[in-house]
Amino acid sequence: MRMIEAVRAAITEEMERDERVLVLGEDVGRKGGVFGATDGLYAKFGEARVLDTPLAESGIVGIAIGAALNGLIPIAEIQFADFIHPAFDQIVSEAARTRYRSNGDWSVPMVIRAPFGGGVHGGLYHSQSIEAFYAHVPGLKVVVPSTPSDAHGLLKSAVRDPDPVLFLEHKKVYRLVTEEVPDGDHLLPIGPAVVRREGTRISCFAWGLMTHFCMQAAADVETEGISVEVVDLRTLAPLDRDTILASVRKTSKAMVVHEDNLTGGFGAEVAATIAQHAFDSLDGPVVRVAAPDIPAMPFNSPQEEFFMPSPEKIAAAMRSLAAY
């Protein structure tokens, strides 16, 4: 499967398993979603469980919260992550805090799916990486798969989680890679990171599309004698600090790669975790490779390439860190 197919399969399987699961969002019905993630679900499950909504993200999330509080399990699709911000208050002040403010009496079992990320000529309003805003919020899980199998297993776990999960799917990864997805009730736990590539000299941490770019860069510098361990975080909240620290203590050098702006990006949290808990193991500075601090990703190819981290930029940072 490709990732988009794995996402669709996970949703279908969970809707078949539990009649409380429903899908809502813009164009998720007969159209099947702008990327095809919900293609065929309307015909299979009907309009009572696959609901087209107005173009109002605060309404989509607010309705999903109400449905979750009343015994349903909604999967709310935000058509592009760039447009999730009108629902910020609903997500942060309501969904994420309901369990805490009700002393555990109420929970909000819901998933918010949102395609994110650049490199697809999406311009200013279809290229943003928004994970840092939401990974900051206790009570909200933030999941960012990078492979079809992970997307399938993590999305099924997200649907079954008793609390709200923001599930971010990189648009460029939707059809980038194909892999086998396990049959049966394939579940992956939310939280644990995975080591995609073993290495000895540098630990490289990434998520989403950047995982693939880091793997390519690591393969390139391997021919120069630089052994890089690539760790796919997969989940930003909760963050798998144990795997991060174990890798750094093994290699003594660390770098974090993300395509959000550098300042205040989630890579800063990873770097701070390493500095606080593995400082004695470091043999060089914690390096961040990220987008520059400019307001948005341009549309035209040269400026989009300037904005985006690339395998070449990542490999150059790996060489520099190895030589430190």
- Point out the residues that are catalytic: 126
Quick count: other Cβ atoms within 10 Å of Cβ 190? 21
Token representation of residue 94: 């309501």
Burial class (CB in 10 A: 0-12, 13-18, 19+), 279: exposed
Partnered with residue 116 across adjacent β-strands are 170
Measured between alpha carbons, how far is 291 from 259 in angstroms, rounded to an integer? 5
